[in-house]
Every structure is written in structure tokens, then in C-alpha cells.
Structure 1
Amino acid sequence: MAAALPSFEKFNVFSDEQSAGVRWRRWVARFENLLCALDITTDARKKALLLHFCGDEVYNIVESFSEEKKGAGATRQVEGRAVPNEYVTLRDSLTEYFTPKKNTAYEVLRFRKSTQLEGESIDTFHTRLRALASTCEFHNNDQEILTQILQGCHSQRLRRRALRDNFDLDHLLAEARALELSETRAVEIEGSVNALSINKQRRYSQSRGSHHFRSSQSHSQSHKDGHKDGHKDGHKDFKRTHNTASSSKTCFYCGGQFPHKAGCPAKGKTCKLCAKVGHFARVCKSQKVRHVVVEDITVSREVGCETSSDESVFAVKQKTAIHKTPVVHATICDTQIPFIVDTGATVNVLSWSVFGKLRPQATLYNPCPLIYAFGSKTPLPMKGFFMTDITFRQKSVNAKIYITDTEGTGNLLSAETAQALKIIQFAFSTSSPKIIADDFPSLFSDGVGKIKDVKVKLHIDQNIQPVAQQHRRIPFHVRKDVEAELERLERLDIIEQVQGPTPWISPVVVVPKKTGGVRVCIDMREANKAISREKHPMPTMDDLVADLNGSTVFSKLDMRNAYHQLELEENSRYITTFTTHVGLRRYKRLLFGVNAASEIFQNTIAGLLQGIPGTRNLSDDIIIHGRSQQDHDESLRITLQRLEENGARLNKEKCVFSVNELTFFGHKFGEKGVSADPEKVKTITNTSAPENVSEVRSFLGMTQYMSRFIPGYASITEPLRKLTRKETVWKWTKEEQQANNKRSTSSNTR
């Protein structure tokens, strides 16, 4: 029978721990469909197949269950007789295990923060919102999803239409699909004519000189004539051109000011670069170094103009068109318009002739600021401006576009608009921690952060008798340091004074710091007996190794006073009360020493960072990694933004940014894979031979962590492990010494 079983995908517990409950219910539904198809009806066979198909991860979880939860011997009454119920009992136990204890406020917060991801279709966004809404207990899921789509979608065009026509959810999704389809088809058509558009742009550039605003009109043809027919004829052409553009101030033959008070100094001179007569080498067009002309257009304001700050456009052109002009086709008023992307421009510009094609959909407004060419006192002719949606590949922004009547001017897209449309992306340098800290000032500021909209509830078993432990005397020589530390914690809103009776009291443990002062710790051993753990799955080093496989760039973020960044619920604070020589205090934040602290913190931060690629947190450390510098930088910026928006704080001194090798928990990650930390290897190699059973256990515990890097580790250490068994008499012989030496050699070679 086993050979005839069909293949069925096992349940992957740790692929996304936050959605384990939802994924498990979906897996069970598919599994029960399989049972129906195979006509499996007996309870014992259902349970056996569940354990067979679920996979090792789930099987190990089942092994940790009590016999009652495993369903052993479970029955139910059907028509007065007992019927086996082991399968249903085990299935429900696993469902309960994978379903996290729901915090409705937190689930609603996750839902409200959801926005459409880059490249995500509206249907995928809708499905994701539908899954999030299922745990929020909304009265009307469709209405909430509709509102969230309008708030979080990329398309302003869709948003405006929905608000205008009062769409319901089905109508909104249909309209969004239609817009996506039309945009996709437009991109396909655009790709087929893109080469033709570029060629036309290049021919246009050669005849006009540039598509940008220019402080001087193109004289390329005059320059060619100067080479072919002599300097005299070239200057005639130049003067004719100059008469039509009085703003021109530079002679294209000598590079000096034009018009000349006397004759042009380049007349009759031979160029030292091309050996032709009529111009100087500094303006020669055959130079190997390409000259780039940067022209600055400033905007002057008239009285009564609607804005108060000056705008400027930097038009940059190459005198020899070696590279293709950066042209994109964006949609305005349902019309495809070619734009030149200018990363130096602060305003969008459209030619008057193109604007005429958009009427009557576009309305022109005045007054319009006067735009001057650099070095000119004559303003360029401007017709006005209009507001419109600019769409590029399913991304829309509302922007102001100025209309110019200057002949030969192309359509210009500003840096701000191009960045909003995801056409360009400015590089994010991670080489300097100072630069990163400057970009996120509050994230790296002093003090202790507090994660927004999160309050930790400690599950306290009321059946446990509270224990008020006696006060432990604090030595006189450290009392001032303790008082200073308590004042600091109160000032940072981490602890508070206790007024009135309290059932739980724990003693303090004072630990000196290497840097001076003391650390006040709480002995929570008695209190922990009443705190039920949530038992969220914790990631292992194997999980991290799998995640980082193939990555070449790494960063590590260290959260400052990590546990203290999570606030405790009011009803959970009383169990943290502790006694000092200056009175009772209790914690307002999560503290180290609570048995459930690590898993609560891990689960909360994992939920906060959910959806960010290349990001994994292990306790208070957050690892960011990428297969390329760009992938890493994108993930890093998103992670830092997410943390800052949610009120977190990082310790800049302990953070590591953009490195090719990262040492973490005794492992060294790099582009060549994972290897052992050389410092750990050195420690193991230099460790002297153990002298008793306790030292052997300690030694094996240290080397076990590095066992993945030691071939044949189990065989090598077998003589040492024998010494730890109860029935073995301690005896350090040649065999044990050889095992110890071989282990050291194996460690040192990895």
C-alpha cells in the first residue's frame, strides 16, 4: 500500500512562521480532499496518513505533545456508541499549536499598514489583504479591503475614479484589472516602437542641438561649415544664428565672448588637435574628452505668483551624441508622451505643440513664473502650467507641468517626478555609518525606543500562589551606583515606583559593569513559575545559513536595549515588582529574565519586519543580506525606514554596514559560503586537554557548535563522549589524547 501512495507536499513550518496558522488550515483542507479522493474513511488510517505526509518538522512537534493531544484512544459518541476520534483530536491539536494567540489590535494595525508592493498586481494585493482581514474581526471585510486598496494602491488614476464614481469592491477590482491590462499592452506596443523613437530623437538632436532648454542655440552646422569652407563663412552662419538667439554669449571658434570687439582670435589659426584651420583646440569637437555643457535656468517670480521658492532646471547635453538620450514614454490624459529624464531638473516641462494634443482634457492656468536662461535678461516664453496625473508602468503621480513655447524644446521630466514614478533610483551608499545615521536621525538617536502600537501581555497563571520574597541587602559601597541606575531607568520610562500592596516581589542582583557603574538584574525564578510561555518557534542557525546562501553583501543591526523597547500591558506589570533599599519598583517594559521574553521579542520583531526581502532577525540582532549590492541596499533602506516609523532605536556603534564578510554566532558568512569563525577555531585549537568529566562536557559543548565544519565529528569525538557516561571510569589514555589532537587539527583546517 505504501508504494501506491501518491506524492503530497509536506507542510513547511518555518518558511513563514507568521502565516503558519493560515497555511496549516489550507494544507489540512487539501489533505482532507486527498483522503476523500482515496476513499480513506477509517480514523486510524487518516491519522497515519497525516503523520506520514506532514513532514519531519510537524512530526517532531507531535512528538512533544501529551498523549491526550496526540489523540491516543480518543473517542466520540455517535448514536450512543463510542467512535474512534484520534485523527480529529490530533488535527485540532496541531491547528491550535500553529494558530497564534490573536491580538486583534495588532492584526488591525498590520492590515492598516499594508500597501501595494512594487510589481504586485491588484489581484495579489487584494488576496493579501483578504488574508490579513480574516484575523481582524471586521464587521464588513469587503468595505475595509476597499478602503485599504484605495489608500495603499499605486495608481492615483484608479483612486480618483473610485472616489468619483463610488465603486464597490467588485467594480474597483474590475477597473483596476482593466487599467493594468491597458498599461501592459501599452508597454508592449511602446517596446516595438522604442528604437524608432530613439532614432527620431537623435536626428532631432542633431538638427536642433538639444531637447533641453539652452542658453545658446545649436551651431553644430556652422562649426562644420567653418571646418569645410573656412573661418569666414562659418562666422557668417554663426552671426545669422546669433541674431535669432540674442542670449548667446560664447564664440564656438575661440571659446571667448561674442560678439568680439575686434576680430575673432581663432581666425586663420590651426587647431592643435585636428590640424584644421578656424578654431582653437579648447572648442574642438574631435577631442577625446567629451565636453559637457551645463546650463542653468533659474525661475524668477512675479508679484502675485502662487509659490514662494525659486525653481531651477539644469539642462545637460553632450556636444557629440555618443550615448542615447534617456527617453521614457509616460501617459498623460490617456496620451503617450515621450519625456527626457533630467535628474538635474526640479520642474516638469511640456512643449506647446504637444500640449495642444491634450486639449480639452488639460486646463492651462496662469500666472506662470518667468523662466530665464543662464546669463540672459530675456525670459523664455511660457504659456502657463497645468496639473495632471503622469503614469508610467502602473505607477501614477499627480504633478505640475509647465508649458513652454520655445521652438525645439523637448518634454522634460524632473528628478522628483521620475523618482516618484520609479523611473530612476538614487544610489544609497552604505559605506559610511555616519551617512546612514544622518538619513535616519531618530533611529540612531540616544535613549530607549518604544515600538508603536505594541503592548506585551504576560500570561500569568492565577492558580500559582504569589511569592513575595525577602529583600536582599545591597552592599553599601554600591548603593549610590544602584540609586543612579534606578533613576536612569525611571527617567527613560523603563521602570516606575510601586504604590500600595503587591502580591509578587522579586529580589535584585547587582552586577558590576566593566565600564563602571552597575547593572540591576531581577531574580525572576519564582515569578517565572507563574508565567506561561507562548512557545513561538525560534529560528535556528540552520535557518540562517539557508537564508544567507548565495548572498554577497551583509549588514547587521543591533537594537539598543532591545527588550526594553517593548511596553508591558498595565495588567502584566505587577509580576515584575522588585525590592531595593530605596523602595519597590516594577517594570513598564519587557525585561531580561522573564522566561517568555526571548520568544515574545523574536515574534514581535519578526512580525514588524515581515515582507522585507533579505531580512532576518535573531533576538536583538537583525541581519540584512543580498545577492548584489543593489538588493542589499534596497532591503537595508526599507528595514531602516520600517524600524524608524515604528519607534525603534539602534546602537550605531554595534551596527555593521555593507560588508562582504559577516561574523555572527561563531559563523563567518561571505560570498564563498559559510565557514567557522577563525577566533572560535583558535580558541578550540588552543584549549588544553580536559582533566575531568565536567571539562570534557564543556569542551564537547564548545566543539558541537562547530561540528558542521569538522568532517567525521561524531567518530572523532566518540572516545571523549564515552568519558561523560555514568558507567565509565575517568581515564585519560592515548586514545582520548589522539581524539583530542585530531579534533584540534580538523578544526584548524576549516
Structure 2
Amino acid sequence: MTGLNGFYQMFDCDLEDTAVGPKWNEWVKELDNYLKWINITDDERKKAALLHHAGVEVFRIYEALEKNSQGDDGAQVVDSIDDMKKKLANHFNPIKNRYYEKHIFRNAKQEEGESIASYATRLRNLSKYCGFQDVDSEIMSQITEGSNNKDVIGKILRSNDELKLEELLDWGRTREVANYQIKDITTSSGTQFTVNKISYGNHTGHVRRCYSCGLKFPHIGECPAKHRKCNKCGVTGNFEKRCRQEVSQNKKSDDQVNSINKLDSNEYDYYAFSIKGDDRLPRAEVMVNNNLISFMIDTSLLLISLMIYPYKSIDPLPMLGEFETEITWNGIISRTCFRVVKGEADCLLCFKTAMELGIINMVNKLGQYEQLKSQYPKLFSNKIGKLKDYELDFHVDEQVKPKKQFHSRIPFHLRKQVEEELKSLLDQDIIEKADGPTTRISPIHVVPKKNGKIRIVVNAKQVNNAIKRESHICPTVDDLVHKLNGASWFGKLDFNHGYRQIVLS
């Protein structure tokens, strides 16, 4: 019996109703093959092996089934291994609806990449409960309806009812192998076969349209829009639907360069770009010598340097001069130095001056990280915290029968990481070790991450069935917009393992 320990596939009774029957039939066949391999022929040992390896749930189901009646001599008749299999098969396999099974059979289509032999095998499995008199004929008929192989369909239609299913499958396999070999040969040799496409239909060709009126061009006489004024832009020479100003505006990008100053150089040509009229840029109206001037705030510019260089240039811009004056913004006065360059562009205000005037505020400097870390050590630790003054209470439906799901096998190369992750969760008091009998067991699954770490996922399907749901109203977009009305500061928080921070009661 030591060799029987190698068969560890316990049967899962919690599958869906449509899947539990076929899975049970497969499980019994695998067990029979294994018993033959280890040379177990005694019926009593086969019965014991079936009930032991199927699991406790299958054992309880069999005990609840009606046993065979007494014999002629009054003695209790013990079920044989075949009787046991038949009773359990009748329990797990629901009564088949022949019309529904035929519906499934008729809607089975050949999948992409599926061979004709595999498709025929799938159809044969689907035809078991359909009650067909001639199964091979029905399979060939469904291949004609659902196959994506035109060669096989043509072979059936040209056979005149003389072709058998086995002959069709042999021919189809040969055809598929030949097509694969031809493709491999032509690909490796670099030979390509090209054919000319034949198109049917009337082709009138491209119709040229006039840019001014939109009618067919060339005109027989004068253009109808030659002396007409556009109702949109007022320009004479085009209709409103062909407004040239609208076309030119549509071609412009939202982020466009309005002024380009070219600087002459002996070796290279460099360009200085300034963007105007974009309300999305940070700007401020600052009073300079009783003149209100619009400045663009350049937070990357700490101070106005002695030399100003255009983008990717080694030559500075021509400097006209500099002056020092007082500037005012919202009652705050600061004294700074301005430098004037040749050309037309926006006025820039450096970061230091914008800070002195209070136009921009520094929330936290990067240099304060160590100070904040020492001031709030718990916030900068790698451990997961807990939601304060809150415990989540699950409403358990006691009428739902507790179920123990089977343990999922963890790959050997991931077991060490799983043990380390579970120990980390125990140390952080996120999970607790279960001592004593447990009525509900949920298996875990391990998902490898791209960074080499793992994520442990719990399959709580059966546990969720016993939890009563709480209903809450989900806010609409209009509700959220109404609540955000008048707000000027917006933020986004990314919780680190948010579900693990909630304490369960």
C-alpha cells in the first residue's frame, strides 16, 4: 500500500453543477489506471482506495446513498466496486436533457488553431448524451456547419455520402501536415508566391473638388463662389462651408509656438522659442514701477544668470542691459534685478523672486526628508499600519454549511518565498495562526510579480457564500461633481495594501 501514496488527487465536490459530473468521470478513470499500474486487483482494496482518496465529502455522500437491499437469504448485500462507481456517478451526473445536449452539439464551432481531429474528438464527447442513431454521420454534418477548414468542407460536399468519418480525418490530418510543411519550406527558402487580387464592382475614381465652392472641379464656367462673401470670416471668394480661416485654425495645434527668434551663428543655427497666450502656464500680474506687467513663472530658474542661453545653444542671447527695481504683488514688495535681451518674448520671473512675493509656496523641500523621517518614524517604516478606531464586522449566515477547500500545491521554487511572506504577515499581526479544529479552509495561490517578489492570493469563494452582503448607494458622476464644487485643492492617495490595514472583529 505504500505505492498508493503517490495518488494524491482528491476530488473537489464544490465545482459547478455542469462541471462536477465530467470531472468525476475523469477522476475515476485516472484512479483505475493508477490501481492497474500498482497491480491492485482486490475489490475491497479498490473500494477503500476510492473512498480514501476521493476525500471526506465523497465518503459522506456515499454513506448517505441508499444501500442495496437484502438478498433472498435475508443477508445484507454489499456493494461491489462497480455498484459504488455507478451510485456515485448517478449522484454527480445530473439527468441529461437530450434537447439541450443537442443544442450544445449544434453550436460547437472549430476554434482557431484547433486541428480537425481534435474538433471531431470534441464533437464525439458532446454527442454522448444526444441520443444520435448514427454518431459519425452527425459529426460529419456538424463539421460541415462548424469547421473553419474549407478544404475539409469541400471534401465532404464532393463525397456523395460515400466518405466515412475515419477516411475524412485521415485525409484532413494529411492535408494539415502538408500545408505546414509547404509553409515551412517556403519560409526557410525565402520563396514567396504572389497572386493578383481581382476586384469586382464599378470604380468611378477620385472626384476633384473646388477649394472655394466645394463643387466638382474643373468648372464648366466661372466658379460660383468667385464673387461671394464668406458668412463666417467675411473674405470674398469662398463659401462658408469652405472657409479657409476655419481650415487653417483646425490645422493649428493647441500647443503652438507663436514667436520664433533666430540667432545667427557661423557654425550652427539655434532657435529660441517663447510660448504666448497659453492660460495653462503659471503666470502672475506684477506691478513694476507703477506698470502692471504679466510674468511667466519659471520654477526651474533659480536666479537670472549673467548670461542667458537659448535651448541647446552654446551662444548666449544678445544682452541689451539690466536694471534693479522694486516690484509689488498683492501688497508684498521685493527688490530684484531684471536683465533685458534683444527680441520679443514673455517676461520671466525666477523661482527666488516668486517665492519672496508669495506667488508660489514650497510645501516640503527634499532636504527635509531626514528631518521628517526622524519626526514621524512610524510613517516611514516598511511595516503595514492599521486603521485606527475601526473594526470590520462580517455578518455570517449560519445556515450556510461550512466547507473545507482543498489545498493548492505550491511550486517548489516558490515555497521559500511563501514561507518568508507568511512569516512577515505573522510578525506584522496581519494574519494569525489557527490552532485547533477549523470549519472553513480557503486555499492560497501564489502569483509571481515582475520584480521577482510574490503576491499571495486567497481563494475565499466558499467563505464569501456565507457572508451576508451590505447594500450601499453608489454615487453617480453628478453627485461627485456636486461635492467637488468650489474645491481648489485635489489630491490622490495610493494605499499600501489597503485591505490588510482593516482589523476584523
Query: Same fold per TM (> 0.5)?
Result: no
TM-score (norm 2): 0.39
> Which of 1 and 2 has greater Rg?
2
Higher relative contact order (CA 8 A, sep 6+): 1
The answer to which structure has the higher helix fraction is: 1
The answer to which structure has the higher strand fraction is: 1
